[in-house]
Structure 1
Amino acid sequence: MHTHPLVGHAPDPDHPGWWTWDLPRDGGYYANVGKLLVRADGPGRALFRMFPDDSHRNLEGGVHGGALMTFIDMAMFAGGTLATGTAVMGVTLDCHVRFLAPVRPGSPIDAEVEVLRQSGRTLFVQGRVIQDGETVASYTGGLLRTAGA
């Protein structure tokens, strides 16, 4: 599989069947996201996992909606890459999220990513975010591959 040249990708020894999705930890935005994993989930589908912790909390003690939106945005790209077999590098055209239940720190969350359609440089995806077997959010989005990607 081809990934972004700055993303580390290797089998995760602690989670059989999952692969790391190691983003640069150079002090930029990604430095606060934490450990991320990805795996294929059938044709045109992938799973993307995050391990939310106390650094992702809002004032009420749950995972901040902005942290969840960041996770979903990254899931669309990582999942799209794994589901299509080619690196998806570009920009988010749109992302609609429906928050359905609170997300708690301390328990992993999985984003199901399904590629609905590829049309030229545009990729359309949808999915759900699940924590402990419960759907906590659903989303749809569009990605635009940048020139040369």
Structure 2
Amino acid sequence: MSGENQSDFHYDADPENPGWRIWGPRGGGVFNAHYNPIRVQVEAPGRARVRCFAGEHLTSATGYLHGGATAGFIDIALFAGARGCGLEREDLAVTLDLTIQYLAPGLSGQNLDAVVDLVRETKRIAFVRGVVEQESGPIASFMATIRKGAARA
């Protein structure tokens, strides 16, 4: 469903977790399904926490989270987190660049949280940074530039 005032992504209250919202593509999204459900909690103006459960399907042969799975979660968290920070039309936005620093191995069987900060926003660009955390502490940090979407004609 797209239109000038309707996003292709849902952002609905999570009935099982007060204070959290569930975010994701209305059509399901094949790639996003690896991380569903994606939950978002606004922590402060310009800051949101994005959460998924790191299942075993996201691990590599080492038994730790695959670096690509962590990167995929970060790319999803950019948009879910930006939505939590007030950016609308995330369905039409794209990642221009993304830099990731891996700090520690991620573990399956735990929540995977990205704390996302909207650093600056212009008419067409959003600058985002954040850290991915698990129970043991930070496992990655990131910085990204998002080109914001415009309403479809």
Q: Shared fold (TM-score greater than 0.5)?
A: yes
Give CA deviations for 1:1-45 in whole Å, capped at 9, x if unaligned.
xx973323222233221111133336x222322221001110111
Q: Percent identity?
A: 32
Distance of 1:114 and 1:130 partners within structure 2: 14
Shift in Å, 1:54: 1.0
1:25-104 matches, cutoff 5 A: 25=28, 28-88=30-90, 89-104=92-107
Q: 1:109 aligns with which of 96, 112, 116?
A: 112
**TM-score, length of structure 1 as denominator length:** 0.88
SS at match of 1:108: strand
Distance of 1:147 and 1:117 partners within structure 2: 18
RMSD over aligned CA atoms reads 1.9
Give CA deviations for 1:89-136 in whole Å, capped at 9, x if unaligned.
311010000000011111001101101111220000101011015011
Distance change (3 Å), C-alpha of 1:140 and 1:59: same
Give CA deviations for 1:44-64 in whole Å, capped at 9, x if unaligned.
111100101011111101111
Shift in Å, 1:80: 0.9
Give CA deviations for 1:64-105 in whole Å, capped at 9, x if unaligned.
111111111111111111112523331101000000001111
- What's the counterpart of residue 128 of structure 2? 125
**TM-score, length of structure 2 as denominator length:** 0.86
Distance of 1:15 and 1:4 partners within structure 2: 25
- What's the counterpart of residue 147 of structure 2? 144
- What's the counterpart of residue 10 of structure 2? 8
Give the structure with the larger strand fraction.
2
Structure 2 residues without counterparts, runs of 5 or longer: none
